[in-house]
Amino acid sequence: MSLQIPQPPLLTNIGTSYLTINVIPNGNPVGTWYAMQVMFNGTGGFVTAQGIVQPVQMWIQSTLIQVTGLTPGTNYSVRLSAADDNIGTNATAFGTVTSTTTISGQANGSLCGVPFTSAEQQVIAQSRKLMPEIFSRNTPDFKILAYANLILADINAFPPFTSFTIGDIAGNPTLANLLYFGISLMTELFLQARATLEDFQYNDNGLSLNVDQVGKIAQSYANMLEFYRNMILNFKKTQIFAVGAVGLGTPRYQSQIGQFLKISLGSAFSWNTP
């Protein structure tokens, strides 16, 4: 089956130095490759799998990608071509362009105009990769970062209390895995909450119809939430034992072992020091 020329792309999440390209396949199957041509100021290029505009034409297998490194206050036009593979086999003609203008101001700026740090940019980019497209598509960077900070605060709140920040993520792979797993899980929770609005029951003269979107996934989600909780608890246990050897009678030892038992036994545990 021959491929169709893609519809004009949807451009969302417009920032000072970035925008998101949403491909509308126009009936093309999953797995189709797309060349995304970006034109501006009489020149242009093509989007790589990393979201960078460069001069060599290429096809990437993505229907949602954030393009970075753009210039504030600049008009950009985007058009698409579809192909069977990454070398452009059976490529279609380019479709109609969609145009937009990046926001004027400081590049890579947050909501208050302060540039994102490299650590924040990394977390934002990775979070977008893990979120469902419907969630990421219209969410600006500063909201993604706020969401990541919310998950990190949840991790910090498990005893023993910690004070990890976004800047700690890159140098702590275990913490990074916890954060990104939590982001993926909590995103699904929000989607599950949204699905409850679509549940309904209908009865009329013996004919009944029941649509229960949440019921089908509730137990699976509960299992994943428990798994996530145990991941955090195990991580916190390693934090406790990482303090090194201390005397059995010292307040430091009593504090650390007390926190460990509280994690292990929960509300059944009480700790009294002489």
pLDDT in tens, 2-26: 899 999 999 987 877 888 899 999 9
Distance of CA 207 to CAs 199, 201, 213, Å?
A: 17, 11, 20
Is residue 29 packed enough to be buried (19+ CB in 10 Å), middle (13-18) or exposed (0-12)? exposed
Is residue 113 domain-resident? no
Percent above pLDDT 90 for the chain:
33
- Which one is predicted more confidently, 42 or 93? 93
Question: Does some domain include residue 29?
Answer: yes
| Residue 227 and residue 155 share a domain | yes
- Given a cut of 90, whether residue 85 has pLDDT beyond it is yes
Question: Residues 89, 141: one domain?
Answer: no
| Average pLDDT for 126-145 | 76
**Quick one: pLDDT at residue 77?**
96
Structural domain including 262 reads: 244-274
Rounded mean pLDDT of the chain?
79
On the CB side of 216, CA atoms within 13 Å amount to 7
pLDDT value of residue 66: 87
Domain-embedded: residue 188 = yes
**pTM, rounded to two decimals:** 0.51
